[in-house]
Structure 1
Amino acid sequence: MAKAKLTTETRTDIYQTVTNAIIAHLEAGTRPWSMPWKVGSTPRPLRHNGVPYSGINTLLLWIEAQDKGFSSNYWMTYRQAQELGAQVRKGERSCVVVYAGAIERNEVNNDGEEVETRIPFLKTYNVFNADQIDGLPEHYTAAPVPHVPPSGRYEAADTFVTNTGAYLRHGGSRAFYSPATDLIQMPAFEAFIDAESYATTLLHELVHWSGAKPRLNRNFEAKRWGDAGYAAEELVAEIGAAFLAADLDIALEPREDHASYVAHWLKVLKEDKRAIFTAAAHAERAAGYLHGYQSAATEEAA
């Protein structure tokens, strides 16, 4: 397993550090967002208060958990552990996570007018996994409890997609989203190796669907297969499907046809150290947007 340190001494350029970690995994033949989930786990990494991490921090903590073999999904700062009456074990190494924010201030432009300027910034802080901490309340390290039985997970995925109203058609031997017809095309369920493969492939195409102009209007200016824009959109769909699979408690099964994208992803990541941050942000936005349909469907049924 490829390992790239995400610790305090590498925080000088967090964009490059994170990108290097992703590249190391891809070059070793693993995708850090394709985690071998434990059945019944809560795959999204959680803060000490149970609030899930999002975006790039999800990838950062998945990588760290995978490399270190952590079983708990809870992460917290040294001080948060102390406030819970617990103690980080001596010699344990922290993992860096990031906080993106912005400073707003008024400036005078060339015309002498006062305008509000928004200056984005990225801060880092260090967290430890609950497996590295002694004395935590039991629920932080307790064995995961299944959310729903396997059949229920796949039914949940079907319901999730149905609630979006996406136009879905079955047939043929390819899975794809067609922007021209706003259609998701899927092979028949029976053509897939297992239910997980069908569900996660469908979630991948649903993320593509979310980016259409009437919806999130996500545009990387792809002009042909394999170019930077095309690779960027595929990266968003891959990570977005991982986020959704985690939320729906489904094991993410990698698609064989996506092995051909790895070289294109590597090229994009090596040329732009912020590309993975952008892709993760778009993936999180897509997941949130698609979850929005679930709330609307629940309200209509009430």
Structure 2
Amino acid sequence: MQSIEDAYQRITDAIIEQLEAGTKPWIRPRRGNSRGSLVPRRATGEAYRGINVLMLWLASELAGYEENTWMTYRQAQDLGGQVRKGEKGSLVVKYGTFTPKEREDDDERAIPYLKGYPAFNIEQIENLPDRFYLPVVELPAVAVPHLGTVETFVRNTGAAVTYGGT
């Protein structure tokens, strides 16, 4: 098991690496098949919180994942899936507290802990149930019609419209 300091250092190193590359890892571009949410989700559908959101956004961005669902190796196995050979997990941390049952001083203070473990994006996993995959949407065969009235309206607002960005 890794220590709290190791987990903190791995998180810090990943953030610094992205900042040095000119990327703000806390900004997630709006893209992908996020099933209506930009916040990374567990296999249960529950949203990740805290530093895990940042870490999984960063992992998604670096790997180019379009999906926002993550799970552990064991969760994938329990669902009949298999993490593809050679895939690397992304660091997720669990923070909590515990109170030792037996203490010499009878002090019932909770002791904090931080545990790191790997999570895999569903794009790294094969044979999951269909509910984890979005259906393929066919692209329209006919081009989207040009809406002259919309173009005229936008032009008449005087707004400066630009396209691009990262």
2:8 matches 1:15 = yes
2:72 matches 1:77 = yes
In the TM superposition, what is the alpha-carbon distance from 1:75 to its structure 2 partner? 0.5
Distance 2:135 2:49 in 1: 23
Flag as ranges the 4+ runs of structure 1 deviating above 3 A. 8-12
Q: Is the 8 A contact 2:33 2:66 kept in 1?
A: no
Matched residue, 2:150? none
2:120 matches 1:125 = no
Q: Is the 8 A contact 1:98 1:123 kept in 2?
A: yes
Residues 62-105 of structure 1: CA distance to partner in whole angstroms, max 9, x if unpaired? 11000001111110111111111111111111112111111224
Residues 26-73 of structure 1: CA distance to partner in whole angstroms, max 9, x if unpaired? 122111111111277321101001001000111111110000011111
In the TM superposition, what is the alpha-carbon distance from 1:115 to its structure 2 partner? 3.1
Q: Is the 8 A contact 1:11 1:96 kept in 2?
A: no
Q: In the alignment, residue 110 of structure 2 is paired with which amino acid?
A: R
CA shift in 2, pair 1:53/1:12, >3 Å: same
Distance 2:89 2:4 in 1: 12
CA shift in 2, pair 1:26/1:68, >3 Å: same
Q: Is the 8 A contact 1:45 1:52 kept in 2?
A: yes
CA shift in 2, pair 1:91/1:140, >3 Å: same
Of residues 99, 111, 115, the one that matches 1:104 is 99
Give the alignment of 1:1-302 within 5 angstroms. 13-38=6-31, 41=34, 42-105=37-100, 106=103, 108=105, 114-142=106-134
Structure with the largest fraction of helix = 1
CA shift in 2, pair 1:44/1:94, >3 Å: same
Q: Is the 8 A contact 2:94 2:116 kept in 1?
A: yes
Distance 1:40 1:193 in 2: 29
Q: In the alignment, residue 76 of structure 1 is paired with which amino acid?
A: M
Secondary structure at 1:81 match in 2: helix
In the TM superposition, what is the alpha-carbon distance from 1:138 to its structure 2 partner? 2.7
Q: Is the 8 A contact 2:2 2:115 kept in 1?
A: no
Distance 1:75 1:22 in 2: 20
CA shift in 2, pair 1:40/1:135, >3 Å: closer
The size of the alignment, in residue pairs, is: 139
Matched residue, 1:283? none
Q: Is the 8 A contact 2:4 2:114 kept in 1?
A: no
The structure having more radius of gyration, on CA atoms, is: 2
Q: Is the 8 A contact 1:101 1:121 kept in 2?
A: yes
Distance 1:38 1:143 in 2: 17
Distance 1:122 1:9 in 2: 9
Distance 1:39 1:45 in 2: 12
**Structure with greater contact order relative to length (CA < 8 Å, sep ≥ 6):** 2
Gaps spanning 5+ residues in structure 1: where?
1-7, 109-113, 146-189, 195-252, 255-302
Residues 176-218 of structure 1: CA distance to partner in whole angstroms, max 9, x if unpaired? xxxxxxxxxxxxxx9x978xxxxxxxxxxxxxxxxxxxxxxxx
Secondary structure at 1:117 match in 2: coil
Gaps spanning 5+ residues in structure 2: where?
138-156
